[in-house]
Structure 1
Amino acid sequence: MFDLRWLRENAEAFDDNLRRRGAPAAAAGLLALDAERRRIETELQEFQSTRNRLSRSFGQAKAKGEPADHLQGELAELKDKVKAGEERLAAVQAELDASLATFPNILQADVPEGADESDNVELRRVGSPRSFAFTPLPHDELGARLGMDFPTAAKMSGARFVLLRGQIARLERAIAMFMLDLQTGQHGYSETSPPLLVNDRALFGTNQLPKFAEDLFQTTTGHYLIPTAEVPLTNVVAGEILDGAQLPLRMTACTPCFRSEAGSAGRDTKGMIRQHQFSKVELVSITTPEASAAEHERMTACAEEVLKRLELPYRVMLLCAGDTGFGASKTYDIEVWLPGQGTYREISSCSNCQDFQARRMNARYRPAPGEKPRFVHTLNGSGLAVGRTLVAVLENGQEADGSVTLPAALRPYVGQDRLLPA
């Protein structure tokens, strides 16, 4: 959502932001609606002023016993005009609010120009891909002998689901526990167990609605399954005025996530890369405008540390304008090396939303006692996607005999050094 005062003063910057994102200019239409809204408000104020004046004259005439029928007729006419004006104002306001909700966040100045992921900028690489003396297998082929069962999952749920058995199910749980222990024990995030079902207000607040409705699973009760724990964690502060001394708030949760993947037809149909249900450790920070840029770097480093501890090669990408998500002002993607695919694949996305979500949720803080509340800045990131981390552990740790050597950091959680094929 946008501050209309800002939009009036920065119409050119608003349209330039849309251009950078590959969308047409729209400020003129929004400002026309805004002007109409303000015109009606002014007209209603004038009607009310006239109504007050006539009411006084009507009362004085009645008190003196003078004829007042003409005043009564004018008052009735004004009442109808006020009612019609209020209805028109409500309609214009609703149209303006609905329109504003469809426009993406303003990009930060250092977000590079570009149309799609091919224009993203690589910032750094950490670790070197392992050299194999054999041809490494993709995780779905490797996992078939380790307890990764797609046919059984398809029988009960259809495509893009997986059933994990035995040692590989334990590995998934171990990865999640390791991530949570790292983020809570060493990075200061507070572990949280949020609801998995949320209402439409929560999804609007974190900008999944109305734009991404097709990617959500809705229940018969009107609730939605969460597409990411970002939704409930960020909405913890919806409608609140926080004490500035409390900030930053840092929360983490490991939850199942549910996505219809409506826009990914034909992509990653094999394996665990793109599923309808998957687990993810989410990181959310609520902070001040002055601290959000540093918090973004910190959050990205916290996500990177998981990969460092797991000895997985990765790279960090700064997303270009055309590839930056709807609610983000700037995003870093962390991509892990997958030898079975011979490429880097996204495993985490860390975004600074600045005050975009806060305005939608009306989430504010008071810098100091007695000071006027300001909107918080919200940030979110994957710390990491559990399923994709499992994929990376399998593919990077695989051996010629089909076993998988586990990273040292995971061995205490799994209780063994290797996964052995059946």
Structure 2
Amino acid sequence: MSTESASDRLSAWVMASDRRLLGTVLVVTYVVFTTLALFSTSSVDGVFSTVRRISFFAAVYTLVVLALNLQWGYAGLFNIGVAGFMAIGVYTMSILTMQIGLPYPVGIVGAVLVTAAFGAVVALPALRLQADYLAIVTLAFAEIVRSILSSQQFSEFTFAGYDLGFGGATGPEAPPDFLKFFIYEEPYSLVSEPNAIGELYFSLFAPLGVDDSTAEAILYVLLLAVAIGLFYLLLDRLGKSPFGRVLKAIREDETVARALGKDTRLFKIKAFTLGAALMGLAATLWYLESGGVRPDNFRPETTFFIFVALIIGGAGSNLGSIVGGIVFGTFLLQGPEIIERIINQQFNPSASPETIFDAFGGLDPLLAFTVENLPSIRIILLGLFLIYLIQRRPEGLVGDRKEIASSIDLEDRGGEN
């Protein structure tokens, strides 16, 4: 058997099962980044911290990509105002909990409902438009939201007897990670001691040399993993329901769906509203852990990155959304930063070439040029990867899965799906 044949067989075996594919992606990701972490740090805590960081970005991007997949992958709604709905969710959560003083569960539910309401308001007029025009409207909406949030006129104001405000360019005071309520005696205090549950949890990592702050961050990643599972189950059930099948019919040919007696406009409004609500929820989970939020966190490039992640995995596939979120959040987003840290620690380049031509004068100036221009190089590499993917696999890494039209699989596959 030739090497090429063995590679093809292995690839086919992995792609034949959703569980094998996802497991392979996770194993490869953690093996690669654990190895890179060993080169970039000499402490066990540093390795855990690096792995925790790439897990966090993989998880939060996966959550938002799953929400976008409902709109674009299922219904074909070209929403490029994702960042605007994310901002509404985060700011609503912050205002309800930190400024009004409502409990965390109320704040989360309120953030979801307010984002859903804005999604419905935008959808009502916008969904009369098609493709490019819908994209322009949603992009304009996101930029209007960001401009209002960053405006000094709305940094502080009074409403219904409450002193509220968006905080201007610096953003509002962010609520603490709500998991602190379960592991600390006084979660709002910077010097709070762990409670009984916290002491038990931290004792699991202490023998490994992992700091309490890193262990706390790992716990939040585990929460995000649970949220991904719930998002996936919700969207998987939705996609297999009659509602989901109508959305896919609208995506393929709205005229045919309308001819079958379906109120396509109502279906699109529902899909857009639910997708917006999930974006708001995903954003609250994203920025609660980061400890702060600013209007600049929701620039158009945020929406662009989320679309790239969806394209990588494959639009219309929930598994593809997970794979795309992992690949983008780790290899394309965090990978270059870890490479930069390794270059600085292992080679410590000192030269600072003025032009790209000077950079090729030796290894030291080349490494220095790479480190100094890493943000631009990352965008270039991202573009090259997209070009390669569109040419070789335009449906995405998982986008070739056949979707079942009936409520049960009538095909005898003769093996594991």
Q: So what's the TM-score if we normalise by structure 1?
A: 0.22
Q: So what's the TM-score if we normalise by structure 2?
A: 0.22
Q: Larger radius of gyration, structure 1 or 2?
A: 1
* Higher helix proportion (structure 1 or 2): 2
The higher-RCO structure (CA 8 Å, 6+ apart) is: 2
